[in-house]
Amino acid sequence: MKRTLFLLMLLFLAACGRPSSEPAASDYRETNYAKNGPRFKLLLLYDDRAEEAHVQFDHQAIAFFNKLTVGEGFIVDSTQNLGAFTADQLKEYTAIIALNAAPSREARTLFENYMENGGGWIGFHAAAYNDSRTQWPWFLRFLGGGVFKCNNWPPQPALLELDRKDHPVTRNLPDTYVCPATEFYQWTPEPRENPDIEVLVSLSPRNFPMGLKDIVYGGDFPVVWTNRNYRMIYINMGHGDEQFSDATEQLLFINALQWIVSNDPNGNPLDK
Ligand code: ZN
């Protein structure tokens, strides 16, 4: 008996005496390949009837997000018709990624209920487009109050600046970087005026005047922001076929995805 106790004590001491450089168990997690199964589900919303440059982006984005599922880490479904889903079906998705597409009129209430009950949304480019014809007050509040004001044309690269350097979505991005050619939307009133809105990235004033046909001469120009009242992030980029050629942009998109997913009110699926 004494011998057993002695051996147990030796084992305990050996376990305590691991070199301090060895990572603690909480520092890393095992991959979940085929072990825990896919951790969460995303729904991509897109619209093939949109303008050609938006469809180009959407198809590249669908390929991009599908590629991220390698190893069956998560599941990606895509649809052009949110209205085909029931509320219970939609609840299964940790987030909707809106690629240049907003819910149809028939699906507006469904989407509102999804978001008001903890749903996630990552909106790209025209996903936030709204004007006087949109007539959807909830959506305008959700976006932060900004109605489409103007845009640069043609699409072009632009210098971007971080507003927040310590946010999970931006902390590993350069303080300023040139974003590949895209069309940028400016909004009125400017979303930054809304205390619920947190702007993460803006277009640098050093770009002005920006454009050759449609010229933007100045003004506040946020391009990535969140509304603190919702699990959402809006990303202005998403026009044409150049966004996925750039590592910084890809990193921004992955950061946004990781942040939105990890804040799921039902528990962080990445902890599974
Ligand atoms: Zn566009």
CATH number assigned to the domain comprising residue 129: 3.40.50.880
In a domain, residue 7? The reply is: no
Task: Place 272 in a pLDDT band, splitting at 50, 70 and 90.
Answer: confident
In angstroms, what is the span from residue 183 Cα to ligand 1's centroid?
A: 5
The rounded mean pLDDT for the chain is 91
**Greater pLDDT, 13 or 57:** 57
Using an 8 Å Cβ cutoff, are 172 and 164 in contact? no
45 bridge partner residues:
79, 98
In a domain, residue 99? The reply is: yes
Residue range 67-73: mean pLDDT, rounded: 91
Residue range 214-241: mean pLDDT, rounded: 98
Using an 8 Å Cβ cutoff, are 220 and 238 in contact? no
Model confidence at 171: pLDDT above 70: yes
Task: Place 37 in a pLDDT band, splitting at 50, 70 and 90.
Answer: confident
Model confidence at 3: pLDDT above 50: yes
In angstroms, what is the span from residue 239 Cα to ligand 1's centroid?
A: 5
User: How far apart are alpha carbons 93 and 12 in whole angstroms?
Assistant: 45
Q: Which of 193, 162, 167, 123 is nearest to 262 (CA)?
A: 167
Range from 26-35, 198-207, 237-246 carrying the lowest mean pLDDT: 26-35
Which pLDDT belongs to residue 8? 53
Model confidence at 72: pLDDT above 90: no
Which pLDDT belongs to residue 13? 47
222 bridge partner residues:
202
In angstroms, what is the span from residue 90 Cα to ligand 1's centroid?
A: 27
Residue range 66-80: mean pLDDT, rounded: 94
Model confidence at 19: pLDDT above 50: no
Count of other CB atoms within 10 angstroms of residue 104: 15
User: How far apart are alpha carbons 62 and 55 in whole angstroms?
Assistant: 10
In angstroms, what is the span from residue 51 Cα to ligand 1's centroid?
A: 8
In angstroms, what is the span from residue 137 Cα to ligand 1's centroid?
A: 23
In angstroms, what is the span from residue 14 Cα to ligand 1's centroid?
A: 62
In a domain, residue 85? The reply is: yes
Query: Which region, left, alpha or beta, applies to residue 129 given φ > 0 means left and ψ of -120 to 50 means alpha?
Result: beta
DSSP designation for 107: G
Residue range 82-94: mean pLDDT, rounded: 97
In angstroms, what is the span from residue 125 Cα to ligand 1's centroid?
A: 7
In angstroms, what is the span from residue 60 Cα to ligand 1's centroid?
A: 15
In angstroms, what is the span from residue 72 Cα to ligand 1's centroid?
A: 32
Number of domains in the chain: 1
Which pLDDT belongs to residue 71? 85
- Domain hosting 116: range is 36-264
Output the 3-class SS for 37-72: CCCCEEEEECCCCCCHHHHHHHHHHHHHHHHCCCCC
In angstroms, what is the span from residue 57 Cα to ligand 1's centroid?
A: 9
In a domain, residue 15? The reply is: no
User: Residues lining ligand 1 (ion), CB within 5 A?
Assistant: 183, 239
In a domain, residue 26? The reply is: no
In angstroms, what is the span from residue 230 Cα to ligand 1's centroid?
A: 25
In a domain, residue 5? The reply is: no
Q: Where are the alpha helices (DSSP H) in the chain?
A: 2-16, 52-67, 87-91, 108-116, 137-143, 247-262
Model confidence at 160: pLDDT above 70: yes
In a domain, residue 146? The reply is: yes
Which pLDDT belongs to residue 18? 45
Provide the whole-model pTM.
0.88
Count of other CB atoms within 10 angstroms of residue 211: 19
In a domain, residue 113? The reply is: yes
- The burial of 27, by beta-carbon neighbours within 10 Å (0-12 exposed, 13-18 middle, 19 or more buried), is given as exposed
In angstroms, what is the span from residue 75 Cα to ligand 1's centroid?
A: 28
Report how far Cα 233 is from the mean position of its chain's Cα atoms. 5
